[in-house]
Copies of this chain bind each other. A is one copy, B any other.
Amino acid sequence: MRTASAGPEIERLMALLAKLPGLGPRSARRAALHLLGKRDSLMRPLAEALGDAADKIGACSECGNLDVTNPCAVCASPGRQPAALCVVETVGDLWALERAGAFKGRYHVLGGVLSALDGVRPDDLNIAKLIERAARDEIVEIVLALNATVDGQTTAHYLADKLAPTGVSVTSLARGVPVGGELDYLDDGTLAAAFRSRAAV
């Protein structure tokens, strides 16, 4: 990404911007020029927000969520149902479920899924803490909200085995036709799963 006439400061800025997901070398260049054109309204505030967030935000020692407090706002909230835990891969998944407003219990962020290909083993994930939390008296149900990928499902089976001795009820998200989905565009696996899990109207 040679720019010839730009100094090392701007080269470095572009190289770092290009590491963000969704930005390549070309869009990083556009972003850098955009930022330099909005120094006081965007560039300096962004620098400050990045430093601020890096300093203040940490992982919740209870569930692994990111927040400025520890335990996080979800774990600390007295309004949450204490009987259910929802296991997710990433904080992004936790946010997605919170936006959907579908779950009123607390979460547990694994930090990834088991993957032979990527060399992710049980010890690399936040699993020991999950077993510990699952063994507490108040927990009745654990919902495995992992991605419907091969690795996600392998991890779900592994967790179900590990959680069996605790006696809690382990469930997972339903498979089926997404809202607004058209049958003709759905893959065979989804259609077959939706058929198997058909329910009375």
Does A9 touch B at the CB level, under 8 Å? yes
Does A150 touch B at the CB level, under 8 Å? no
Residues 5-61 of A at the B interface (beta carbon under 8 Å) = 5-7, 9-10, 12-13, 16-17, 19-23, 27, 29-36, 39, 42-54, 56-57
> B33 to A92, Cβ gap below 8 A?
yes
Given contacts A2-B99, A5-B65, whether A51 and B42 have CB atoms under 8 Å apart is: no
Identical subunits present: 2
Number of interface residues of A (CB under 8 A): 57
Does A66 touch B at the CB level, under 8 Å? yes
Set of chain B residues within 8 Å of A21, measured between Cβ atoms:
27, 30-31, 34
> B30 to A16, Cβ gap below 8 A?
no
Set of chain B residues within 8 Å of A197, measured between Cβ atoms:
none
Which of A67-75, A123-131, A169-177, A188-196 lines the interface with chain B? A67-75
Does A4 touch B at the CB level, under 8 Å? yes
Does A95 touch B at the CB level, under 8 Å? yes
> B53 to A10, Cβ gap below 8 A?
yes
CB of A154 to closest CB in B, whole Å: 22
> B91 to A33, Cβ gap below 8 A?
yes
Given contacts A4-B99, A67-B7, A98-B3, whether A22 and B13 have CB atoms under 8 Å apart is: no
Does A153 touch B at the CB level, under 8 Å? no
Does A146 touch B at the CB level, under 8 Å? no
Residues 52-109 of A at the B interface (beta carbon under 8 Å) = 52-54, 56-57, 65-69, 72-74, 90-92, 94-95, 98-99
Please, which residue of chain B has its CB at the minimum distance from the CB of A74? B5
> B20 to A35, Cβ gap below 8 A?
yes
Nearest first, the 7 closest Cβ-Cβ pairs linking A and B are: A47-B50, A4-B98, A22-B27, A47-B51, A7-B68, A13-B49, A16-B46
Additional A-B contact list (6), CB under 8 Å, known A5-B95, A39-B54 = A7-B57, A9-B53, A16-B45, A21-B30, A33-B90, A44-B51
